[in-house]
Structure 1
């Protein structure tokens, strides 16, 4: 019995010593850190998949006092950047030393992990260069009529939904998700998803699987993704980050689309057309520039990143416009005035003239960014400019987007919805990295033009015909879901719609 007690006591003391050593990592390097519990660290601070509660606490406590603050996710040291000049250095000036978004996994990786967001810098650079031509202004203009077609279907579905309710109350988040799903289906795959007509079509179901997975525990999932080497061993227990049926669906979809287009020589000048061109072209070594597996991964991330983020931006924007009717009327006046100028037709040129619309979208993204923090991993030892601090290779770095976007020293009265903040004259007064809704630097959001375009078209379509106001069902505040990496509403977004 005494021997057992000695063994247990020794093990306990060893664990305490190990954790104490781990939680002194930043102090030993002269970096201020968030106060930690000596035993469980930040365990009870972690309450959401996106971990913004930790970064918010760091930002609130150390803003204006330090360029960089250290904290921990379990025992993993992470650096939180608070200074905008340092943000610029990390994202742009010193990009070559901090080129990765995520810690790279050793060993085999699943098909859906080979996408642009996850690849290391060495594989990312050539792929980014190959994909960039898809998102030029010329390509956006070419895709625009397709968006308008889907927008007409949105207007029909919206009108039909209104006829089913005498109160005029409409739930917008699901409807906006169906709209963006159909847009991406048309522009990426060249197929009619029809989720605006049938919310249970396979595309919509798979979209929900991506963004609304069921986790046994938030902390357990974060633990697994913080130490990705675990997946190498968990696969023997059939534990996977992506379900097999989701991977099979994406592989089948891309393979069938490629085969159909090649057999019938179909050309649509869309995203998958560019991928087919890359697949069929050879590099200097005579090898195909893109395998079907890499094609699947890019299509997957385009679908995943494009549908939920834009649908949340749409529903969040309409929510704020309903709360701020003077902004809504000003935006509607701009939309109607420019449409009249173009004979009532929504053209690409007409959309680009709507500058206040763009300010409304950007202000919505400031208040409700798609992600709570930008992530980077140092690919080399990195000395913080004008300090004696050096980040070791492999250090996880977080840039707290929500903290920056809600900093009263940067945005006066940040809780107020004020699109005029993004008038060019006002933007010139702020630091260029004060807005990070689409990231920044070489690894910014590749599809930002497409994302903005589908949100613009969606807002124009609804606001030219309907006035939105609050209803009894409208939440007083849009709470953010705890269960997703991206920041999406945790509840339904109900508004009252009135035909103009």
Structure 2
């Protein structure tokens, strides 16, 4: 005899139906959360909420949030759901300012948190929560001061010279050669990180199988897109599966390189004005102190170098590749930029000094427009740490509510950037910047949680473009993808297939001379 009825099959159907009903009711119990608060919402579906396209790998979270941003046009914010969790997407630029800066104390933590057992992912400056974040940020900021960057410029310049030497060795000539520029920029950014963070001369151009390059590609590679999605959006699944933020192979590599370098540097007493120097100092002064579960030792210390390696490699490499792509498609912009660079080099006796790099206003404009069209991180996220009353509104955001900001949505909003698909550096001339609201261009975030390495990232890219454009020209070729297509599953903004092919040719001395000659009025 069965448990409920005389028939086991019928009992099974009853239990299954009851289980599905209970699961359905549980997973949809919060689906009126935003409507009850008078907030418009993106209609969810049971069990997955608004996250179906991401789970099925049809869209990246950044692309999905951009769609939500566009659907909610005219609204200051819109509610949505990840599984059964209510989240708020903020659209209004004044409210974005409040979340990121003005009322930072209410949103001082990021929402995502890798599992605490993954110390390289959990304990780094990007993910760690207050109060440890504030203490760690204060100690790490000294690495990125203008004074430190000036001293570091010599290390970056050596990497840039290796890049130029490599291009020269390719015998490009006046007709040029088709090259994959994301790999080219990836080798450069790898060498910069290897030198400035780990104190190593990797020279990826002479050693194409360099481990730094290999593991840099692996962290955000397509094979790891679901793993990173799980680490950030599905912590329980991540914990059960043993996923880590950087990947287990990369974790092993980073531990080996980091502790070998620390041991060698401690023994020799050498100082290079790099990140290793700062971490050795922190370990020496604070290594034995337990700061609410965090120590400047072991994996907690390594985590700071790890996030610098992970974030610095991919963001710089892809931004440089996208900028080369846009310059190839817009030769008039490329020529104007080259003219600015060559004239500045004449004034500085051919030396790319820190002051000279900071004076290149058109280079800034081109870089910022590239970052507008191709923001490395397509969204920002925060956690409401205190109950927050939205100004001039009856809406009260409860503690624990995740807040999202669509960087791509803001960057492509025609109210802020007319004809947003067009590549136009003039958007960032002084007049246009002054007439545009703040907090609508967020490639590095804003406020206390803004990217700590912004100045260094810009410095290394500026130096690379000074070196490249003063001697070489980029052009489209038959393998260039026009228009650009982005990887729909990329963790960060990346081209479809992860490659960008361009023709690179060497410009001759007569072309350089013609550019730098003063124009007759």
Structure 1 length as normaliser, TM-score? 0.93
- Contact 1:373 1:401 (8 Å CA) reproduced: yes
1:435 match: 441
Partner of 1:261 in structure 2? 265
1:93: how far off?
1.0
Checking the alignment, whether the CA contact within 8 Å between 1:92 and 1:441 is kept in structure 2 is yes
1:332 — aligned with what?
A: 338
Report the equivalent of 2:200: 191
The one-character-per-residue Cα deviations of 1:295-336 (angstroms, maximum 9, x if unpaired) are 210001111111110111111011111111111111011001
Q: CA deviation at 1:269?
A: 1.5
**Cα distance change of structure 1 residues 389 and 134 upon mapping to structure 2, 3 Å threshold:** same
Residue equivalent to 1:485: 491
- Structure 1 stretches of 5 or more lacking a match? none
Task: Give the gaps of 5 or more residues in structure 2.
Answer: 1-8, 508-521
Q: In structure 2, what is the equivalent of residue 202 of structure 1? A: 211
Report how far residue 43 of structure 1 moved: 4.3
Q: How does 1:388-427 map to 2 (within 5 A)?
A: 388-427=394-433
Distance in 2, Cα, partners of 1:317 & 1:89: 31
Instruction: Verify the 8 A CA contact 2:115 2:231 in the aligned structure 1.
Output: no
Contact 1:234 1:240 in 2 (8 A): no
Most deviating of 247-256 and 2-11: 2-11
Query: 2:159 matched to 1:150?
Result: yes
Question: Quick check: 1:132 aligned with 2:138?
Answer: no
Deviation at 1:13, TM superposition (A): 2.6
Query: For 2:13, which of 5, 10, 22 is the aligned residue?
Result: 5
Cα distance in 2, alignment partners of residues 388 and 487 from structure 1: 36
CA spacing shift, 1:481–1:260, aligned 2, 3 Å: same
Count of residue pairs brought into register by the alignment: 494
Within 1, Cα distance between the matches of 2:330 and 2:174? Answer: 24
The correspondence for 2:323, drawn from 310, 314, 317, is: 317
Deviation at 1:243, TM superposition (A): 3.4
| Pairing of 1:74-93 with structure 2 (within 5 A) | 74-93=83-102
Deviation at 1:223, TM superposition (A): 4.9
Question: CA–CA distance in 2 between the matches of 1:63 and 1:286?
Answer: 48
What is residue 43 of structure 2 aligned with on the other side?
Answer: 35
Distance in 1, matches of 2:51 and 2:288, equals: 50
User: Which residue of the other structure, out of 2, 22, 29, is the alignment partner of 2:30?
Assistant: 22
Deviates more, 1:126-135 or 1:376-385: 376-385
Shift of 1:379: 1.4
1:226 corresponds in structure 2 to: 233
Q: State the Cα RMSD in Å.
A: 2.3
8 A Cα contact 1:74 1:223, kept in partner? no
- Aligned partner of 2:306 among 300, 303, 314: 300
Residues 1:321 and 1:221: Cα distance change in structure 2 (over 3 Å) = closer
The equivalent of 2:505 in structure 1 is: 498
Q: Shift of the alpha carbon at 1:48? A: 5.6
Q: Distance in 1 between matches of 2:339 and 2:463?
A: 16
Distance 2:262 2:195 in 1: 15
Please, which of 373, 380, 384 is the counterpart of residue 378 of structure 1?
A: 384
In structure 1, the residue matched to 2:351 is 345
Report deviation, 1:241.
Answer: 4.5
2:512 maps to none
How do 1:49-198 and structure 2 match up within 5 A? 50-64=60-74, 66-104=75-113, 108-163=117-172, 168-198=177-207
Tell me, what secondary structure is at the counterpart of 2:52?
coil
Deviates more, 1:161-170 or 1:473-482: 161-170
- 2:479 pairs with 1:473: yes
Counterpart CA distance in 2 for 1:225 and 1:269 is 33
Tell me the TM-score normalised to structure 2 length. 0.89
The alpha-carbon deviation at position 224 of structure 1 amounts to 5.5
How far the C-alpha of 1:105 sits from its partner, in A, is: 5.8
Do the aligned partners of 1:107 and 1:232 also contact (CA within 8 Å) in 2? no
Deviates more, 1:306-315 or 1:43-52: 43-52
Name the residue aligned to 1:270. Answer: 274
